[in-house]
């Protein structure tokens, strides 16, 4: 069943109700771990970093990005278990490091490369803008590169957002197979997922306005919502005992809820 985003969000809130502690703790732990790894390298740059310092920091940021991907998969594990009525604990955040770690690192690497490829038009436009004369043509090339990169980045996200979900659900699945299955799953669901992303714009603004404090509640809510969406796409949600809500009159949800 393809549920509208409003119903998916209501189910997510129902599952989180009175059980915010563990998913909130998982989000906070991952955020702290990533920050602790990143801050020393950022502070080491100083006002006039050398080339070697820049290379070291860029390499560190790359490795931290991969670790962040694996930790995010652990957070997903917590939400999946909670939704399925299985035992969910804070330490499950580290489950991807206990088995099949190379699969998650491989998937993170591919995601990174795909994101980098999506940025190539922007990078090319920026290089042309820097070395060419600043005129209408160079500005147009830069703008076109930015738009193309944005479109490519959105397509990459929509097609492969749930790769780590497949790796978690199918421990024997190869990395490339997970990307292929994820892309097949999203056929006919990309528009729904895109709308779901847009529906969280209001919540994202709330995080900014609260200096990040609201993320303690918003991020677990967002994570749970995308877990429900994934299970709805696979059909598993129809077999999970969740509260039944009356069908909403409209097919879409509020930009805030």
Domain for residue 257, yes or no? no
| 226 DSSP 8-state letter | H
How far apart are alpha carbons 146 and 199 in whole angstroms? 23
Residue 84 vs residue 241, higher pLDDT: 84
Q: pLDDT tens for residues 15-55?
A: 998 888 999 999 999 999 999 998 888 777 766 777 887 88
131 in helix, strand or coil?
helix
Q: What percent of the chain has pLDDT over 70?
A: 93
How far apart are alpha carbons 127 and 136 in whole angstroms? 15
- Determine if residue 239 is left, alpha or beta; phi over 0 gives left, psi from -120 to 50 gives alpha, anything else beta: alpha
Q: For the ranges 31-40, 152-161, 188-197, which has the lowest average pLDDT? A: 31-40
Domain for residue 183, yes or no? yes
Domain for residue 235, yes or no? yes
pLDDT exceeds cutoff 80 at 157: yes
Residue 57 vs residue 112, higher pLDDT: 112
How far apart are alpha carbons 28 and 22 in whole angstroms? 10
Please give the model's pTM, rounded to 2 decimal places. Answer: 0.86
How far apart are alpha carbons 231 and 137 in whole angstroms? 47
Distance set, CA 196 to CA 226, 231, 248 (Å): 8, 14, 16
For residue 129, give its domain range: 5-239
* pLDDT the model gives residue 253: 40
Domain for residue 169, yes or no? yes
CB 62 within 8 A of CB 112: yes
Domain for residue 150, yes or no? yes
* pLDDT the model gives residue 131: 86
How far apart are alpha carbons 68 and 195 in whole angstroms? 25
* Number of domains making up the chain: 1
Residue 195 vs residue 53, higher pLDDT: 195
* pLDDT the model gives residue 243: 52
pLDDT exceeds cutoff 90 at 223: yes
Domain for residue 250, yes or no? no
Mean pLDDT computed over 90-112: 92
């Amino acid at each position: 069943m393809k549920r509208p985003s409003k119903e998916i969000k209501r189910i997510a809130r129902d599952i989180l109700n009175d059980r915010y502690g563990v998913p909130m703790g998982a989000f906070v732990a991952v955020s702290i771990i990533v920050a602790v790894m990143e801050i020393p390298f950022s502070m080491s740059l100083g006002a006039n970093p050398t080339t070697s310092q820049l290379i070291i920091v860029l390499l560190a940021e790359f490795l931290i990005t991969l670790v962040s991907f694996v930790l995010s998969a652990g957070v997903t594990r917590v939400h999946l278990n909670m939704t399925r009525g299985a035992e969910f604990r804070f330490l499950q955040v580290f489950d991807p490091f206990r088995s099949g770690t190379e699969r998650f690192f491989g998937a993170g690497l591919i995601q990174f490369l795909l994101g980098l490829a999506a940025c190539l038009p922007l990078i090319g436009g920026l290089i042309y803008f820097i070395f060419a004369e600043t005129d209408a043509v160079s500005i147009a090339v830069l703008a076109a590169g930015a738009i193309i990169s944005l479109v490519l980045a959105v397509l990459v996200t929509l097609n492969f957002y749930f790769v780590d979900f497949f790796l978690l659900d199918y421990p024997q699945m190869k990395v490339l197979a997970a990307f292929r299955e994820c892309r097949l799953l999203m056929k006919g669901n990309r528009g729904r997922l895109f709308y779901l992303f847009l529906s969280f714009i209001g919540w994202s603004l709330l995080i900014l306005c609260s200096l990040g404090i609201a993320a303690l509640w918003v991020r677990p809510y967002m994570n749970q919502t995308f877990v429900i969406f994934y299970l709805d796409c696979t059909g598993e949600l129809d077999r999970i005992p969740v509260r039944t809500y009356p069908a909403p009159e409209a097919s879409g949800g509020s930009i805030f809820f």
